[in-house]
Amino acid sequence: MHERTPASPQDDKSRWFQQIVLPHLDAAYNLAAWLTRQPADAEDVVQEAMLRALRFADGCREATAKSWLLRIVRNVAYDRLTASGGLALFADLNPDDPDGSGFTTDAFGGTTEDPESRLLKDQDRRQLDRLIALLPLPYREVLVLRELEELSYKEIAEVAAIPIGTVMSRLARARDWLHKAWSERNG
C-alpha cells in the first residue's frame, strides 16, 4: 500500500490560484490593454499583477476573485503609467484630439453572412475601439469594466477604489462622449 503525502500549503495555494484566479486572465489582459494601450505593456502589467496576486492570495475571497484581480491589474497599470509619465487622468474629452496610439481590440466581435455587412461592421468596430482608446483613463477604465468585463457598479467601485456615484458619473460621461464623437464622425 502506498501512502499519500499531504499536500503542502504551497501546493494548495497553487491549486487555488489555478482554479480561482487564472480563469480571469483574459479579463486581466483586456483591462491592462485598454489602460496601457500597448500590447507589450499590457503583458508586462498582467505578469506583474499575477505575481502580486499569487503573493497576496490570502487577501482574496472566491466570490470576488475577478474584481480582486482586476484591482491589482489596475494598480499595477497605474503605477507603471505614473512612473513613465504617461498618466493623463483627466484630459478633456475632445473627439478631435486623437493620440495616434493605434491600439485596437476585437472586444466587440461578431460575424455576419454578408461580406459587405461584415466589412462595414468591422470598420465600425475599429472606429469604436479608436474612440474608446481616446477616452481619458478614468472614463475608459469604467467603460471597459462595465461594458466589456460586465462588472456591476459595486464591483467597479471596488476595482477603481471610487464611490459608486463616481462610477455612474464617469460611465455616463464616457457614454455621452462616445455618442457625440460617433455622431460627429458618422453624421
Q: What domains, with CATH codes, occur in the chain?
A: 10-88 (1.10.1740.10), 111-187 (1.10.10.10)
Tens-place pLDDT, residues 24-33: 999 999 999 9
Residue 60's pLDDT is what?
75
Flag whether pLDDT at 87 surpasses 70.
no
Q: What is the pLDDT of residue 106?
A: 40
The band of 88, judged by pLDDT with boundaries at 50, 70 and 90, is low
The answer to whether residue 86 scores a pLDDT higher than 60 is yes
Instruction: Indicate left, alpha or beta for 102 from its phi (over 0: left) and psi (-120 to 50: alpha).
Output: left
Which triple of cell numbers denotes residue 167?
462610477
Q: What is the pTM of this model?
A: 0.62
Evaluate if residue 119 carries a pLDDT over 80.
no
pLDDT at residue 177 greater than cutoff 70: yes
Nearest to 62 by CA among 17, 101, 32: 17
Chain segment 51-74, per-residue pLDDT in tens: 998 888 777 776 688 999 999 999
Residue 5 has pLDDT above 70, yes or no: no
Query: Which carries the bigger pLDDT value, residue 19 or residue 92?
Result: 19
Burial 13-36 (b: 16+ CB within 10 A, else e): eeebbeebbeebeebbbbbbbbbb
For residue 180, pLDDT beyond 60: yes
Question: d(Cα 181, Cα 98) in Å, to the nearest integer?
Answer: 11
- pLDDT value of position 59: 74
Contact 39, 133 (CB under 8 A): no
Could you give the angle at which helices 65-84 and 153-160 cross, rounded to 10 degrees?
40
Query: pLDDT band for position 113 (50/70/90)?
Result: very low
- Per the CB < 8 A criterion, the answer to whether 130 and 98 are in contact is yes
Average pLDDT over residues 40-57: 91
Does residue 103 carry a pLDDT above 90?
A: no
The pLDDT score that the predictor gives to residue 163 is 96
Q: How many angstroms separate the Cα of 149 from the Cα of each of 78, 100, 116, 120?
A: 19, 25, 29, 25
